[in-house]
Amino acid sequence: MNKNLFSLDIIADQFLNYLIVEKGVSKKTIESYSSDLARYFKFLKKSGIESVSATDTPVILKHLIALRNEGLGSRSRARHLVTLRTFYKFMVQEKMLKNDPSRVVDLPKIGLKIPDILSVEDVTSVLNAPDASKPIGARDAAMLELLYAAGLRVSELVNMKLLNINMEACFIKVFGKGSKERIIPIGFYAKEKVDYYIKTARPILLKKVVSRYLFVARAGKPMTRQGFWKLLKRYAGQAGIYRKITPHTLRHSFASHLLERGADLRAVQVMLGHVDISTTQIYTHVAREHLKNMHKKYHPRG
């Protein structure tokens, strides 16, 4: 069956009839499902997507992000996901699709929660807050830039070793949860700030002490996670941003900004280092060069 947007209208009618006849749902519920599907189909058309498939997981996630950006609350987004889950399950049941792409999208009991993020403008303001003319400011500027450029966890940032960054190739090597290694590209801004820090500020901060850590605090030791958290909060205040911001806010912003600009979800997941057996189908091997091109093309500061 050709599942283009025209036939989707027919499939939607079949789906709604199924809910009425076989499931016996209320008129109010039918209206909600119908409204949610219409909004989803409109999103597909706007995105230039002319079909649905068993690999629609990235499409569903982008739709939920779009709903959030339109101001839809978490409970309403949760309802949308329930509608899409029921719809795709119906299509599998009717053998229109082999697999259900919505089943790997999480729905917490308290409702769908998509993390808060900063706008690109707010991120830029925070990243530009440190005074890079001073050694500590140059270090802080490099740390903030790298955190956002690579979507790092704070523990990955503060524990990064000097030998884990390749300035020439613009890649960093990260050891995440479970000591799993991943390679992440970094953009121009991060390369410039980290390079400046290494050549000018780091030797001054070390005071002839030898350290294997990239970012150093007292006596060549790495900064603590709590120390970086306080640092970030201070610079956010200097940038005029007073709502709660954590290092993970920049990690979420990294992922959301890439996805909103059209980056491939699988590439973003590889860069984030997410590994979950329940979402295996949306994790694929992504070549380093592809990651680098993806980062350069879609990252706001790539």
Q: Dig out the tokens for 271 from the structure.
A: 């860069």
CA distances from 217 to 91, 206, 209, 297 (A): 57, 8, 11, 34
Q: Tell me, which fold does domain 5-93 have in CATH?
A: DNA polymerase; domain 1 (1.10.150)
Alpha-carbon torsion, ordered 45, 48, 66, 13, to 10 deg: 30
Q: How many CB atoms lie within 10 A of CB 199?
A: 11
Residue 137, pLDDT > 60, answer: yes
pLDDT the model gives residue 1 = 41
220: which residues sit within 8 A by CB, 6+ positions away? 206, 209, 210, 211, 213
The mean-pLDDT minimum among 120-124, 218-222, 249-253, 284-288 falls in 284-288
- The arithmetic mean of pLDDT across residues 198-202, rounded, is 96
pLDDT the model gives residue 290 = 53
What rounded mean pLDDT belongs to the chain? 82
pLDDT the model gives residue 197 = 97
Residue 143, pLDDT > 90, answer: yes
State the catalytic residue, choosing from 23, 42, 75, 177.
Answer: 177
Residue 81, Cβ density class (10 Å: 0-12 exposed, 13-18 middle, ≥19 buried): buried
Q: Residue 114 has what DSSP assignment?
A: P
Q: Residue 197 has what DSSP assignment?
A: I
User: Do 168 and 198 meet the contact criterion of CB atoms below 8 Å apart?
Assistant: no
DSSP-derived pairing of the beta strands 171-175 and 165-166: antiparallel
Q: What band does 212 get if pLDDT is binned at 50, 70 and 90?
A: very high
State the catalytic residue, choosing from 62, 63, 79, 153.
Answer: 153
Higher pLDDT, 118 or 136: 136
- The arithmetic mean of pLDDT across residues 160-172, rounded, is 92
pLDDT the model gives residue 133 = 96
288 is catalytic: no
User: Do 186 and 172 meet the contact criterion of CB atoms below 8 Å apart?
Assistant: yes
283 is catalytic: yes
- The arithmetic mean of pLDDT across residues 239-262, rounded, is 85
251 is catalytic: yes
Q: What band does 60 get if pLDDT is binned at 50, 70 and 90?
A: confident
State the catalytic residue, choosing from 63, 251, 292, 301.
Answer: 251
- The arithmetic mean of pLDDT across residues 258-276, rounded, is 72
Residue 266, pLDDT > 80, answer: no
pLDDT the model gives residue 157 = 95
pLDDT the model gives residue 270 = 78
pLDDT per position as a tens digit, 10-50: 888 888 888 888 778 788 888 889 999 989 988 988 888 87
- The arithmetic mean of pLDDT across residues 140-159, rounded, is 94
Please report, rounded to a whole number, the percentage of residues in the chain having pLDDT higher than 70: 85
Q: Which residue spans of the chain are classified as CATH 1.10.150.130?
A: 5-93
- The arithmetic mean of pLDDT across residues 210-215, rounded, is 95
196 is catalytic: no
177 is catalytic: yes
State the catalytic residue, choosing from 103, 161, 173, 248.
Answer: 248
Question: Is 0.85 topped by the overall pTM?
Answer: no
Q: Dig out the tokens for 265 from the structure.
A: 């979800």
- The arithmetic mean of pLDDT across residues 258-273, rounded, is 76
pLDDT the model gives residue 195 = 96
The class level of CATH for 120-298 reads mainly alpha
Distance in angstroms (rounded) separating the CA atoms of residues 142 and 158: 12
pLDDT the model gives residue 111 = 42
Three-class secondary structure of residue 67 per DSSP: helix
Q: Residue 175 has what DSSP assignment?
A: E
State the catalytic residue, choosing from 103, 283, 290, 296.
Answer: 283
Q: Which residue spans of the chain are classified as CATH 1.10.443.10?
A: 120-298
The mean-pLDDT minimum among 14-18, 71-75, 198-202, 212-216 falls in 71-75
